[in-house]
Structure 1
Amino acid sequence: MSDLPHDIGKAAHHWFGKPISELSAHQQRALNRAMTRKPISKNINDAFQDRLTFGQRLADQVATFGGSWTFIIAFGLALAIWVGGNLLLRRAAFDPYPFIFLNLMLSMLAAVQAPIIMMSQNRQAAKDRLDAAHDYEVNLKCEIEIMALHDKLDQMRNEQLQMLVAKQEEQIELLTRLLAERLPRA
């Protein structure tokens, strides 16, 4: 915007009422982008996804599958088959009632799956924090540009008002001269 101050220090005082040294990194970045008229938007998902390790991607896939209806239905079927098979085999069952081996397997699954899901949730929370910080910068830049537009509109309105007043004064002067020429002098 042409109404943005050319000096970043003046811009900091103008838009934030503080010296540049007191602005946060987000505020400085948004102000700099507004002054240079560069976009600030970026896809946080792409940037975040590129930095994930194999283990982190695997944890995300495990968490995605573990929280799906496919997993719940498949797991329910596996449990029903396990329990049904062992009940039908009675004395020859490899895990007779009260299904102690099944309880051991379920405990081990929960012990492994819970931390993997928590790792995935922690990463999602970190991504959400990055996304929120980026949204703040975009919103801040938009606010700066909207304030600059308001300043420009105010300036244009004042210039138009001054031109209107000058025109009115000119018209009054012209009417006064015409009246003076037309009226007989006494």
Structure 2
Amino acid sequence: MHNLSDLIHHHFDKPADELGEIEKRVLAKAHERKIISTDINAALQAESSAGERLADSIARIGGSWSFIVAFFLFLAFWCVVNTVVLFTRAFDPYPFIFLNLVLSMLAAIQAPIIMMSQNRQAERDRFEAAKDYEVNLKAELEVLSLHQKIDMRVLTEIAALREDIERLNQRLPS
């Protein structure tokens, strides 16, 4: 297997123009004996914008138990202050209309941010799956190549042993 077209024909059993871009890239890297794996985190971090990183941070904080506990404490504090402490002069008396407005605005902002983060995670998952496929394909090609080399070595040794046996048989008296 000295050239790329031999590799393609041997491993895929179809012409090069029928291969996808990933397969062509993997075969070229395998032929050149180059590493194909990459640091996915670094690659995605380099491509992400400040807004995307902010959305990820907000989603990470908003989806944590510490946020849930802190928000529950904030809601309890709000209710206690407006019902018990400031009973006669509450700035948001029961049924807490202003709190309802604040929560609605928070939900209206937080939902799209979380969706952006989820879309980014889905994109990351697709990128990671493609990289896994490339690495797995290259590993499979390398294993096949090693098998072929071992098979060739075994066949060469068997042929040499047969020659030795034939030579020894000729030395034996008839």
| TM over 0.5, shorter chain | yes
- Residues 112-131 of structure 1: matches in 2 within 5 Å? 112-131=109-128
Contact persistence 1:59–1:117 (CA under 8 A): yes
1:161: how far off? 1.0
Instruction: Please tell me whether residue 109 in structure 1 is matched to residue 106 in structure 2.
Output: yes
Amino acid at match of 2:76: A
**1:164 Cα deviation from its structure 2 partner:** 1.4
Q: 1:68 aligns with which of 45, 64, 73?
A: 64
Amino acid at match of 1:58: L
Query: What's the CA shift for 1:79?
Result: 0.5
Please name the residue that 1:36 is paired with. Answer: 32
Residue type at the aligned position of 1:168: I
Q: 1:9 Cα shift? A: 1.8
Please identify the structure whose Cα radius of gyration is greater. Answer: 1
Would the aligned equivalents of 1:12 and 1:31 in 2 still touch at CA under 8 Å?
A: yes
Tell me the distance in 2 between the aligned counterparts of 1:50 and 1:137. Answer: 21
Cα separation, 2, equivalents of 1:47 and 1:123: 13
Correspondence for 2:16: 20
Match of 1:159 among 142, 156, 160: 156
* Residues 13-66 of structure 1 deviation map (CA, whole Å, 9 limit, x = unaligned): 111011111110110011000000011011111111111111111111101110
Runs of 4+ in structure 1 deviating by more than 3 angstroms, as ranges, are none
- Counterpart residue number, 1:11: 7
Alignment correspondent of 1:183: none
Shift of 1:91: 2.8
Using the aligned pairs only, state the percent identity.
52
| Match in the other structure for 1:141 | 138
| Cα offset, 1:72, TM superposition | 1.0
Where do 5+ consecutive residues of structure 1 fail to align? 181-186
Distance 1:52 1:40 in 2: 22
* Structure 2 residue ranges without an equivalent (≥5): none
Over the aligned positions, Cα root-mean-square deviation in angstroms equals: 1.1
Normalised TM-score (structure 2): 0.95
What letter corresponds to residue 39 of structure 1 in structure 2?
A: I
In structure 2, how many angstroms separate the alpha carbons of the residues matched to 1:8 and 1:164? 33
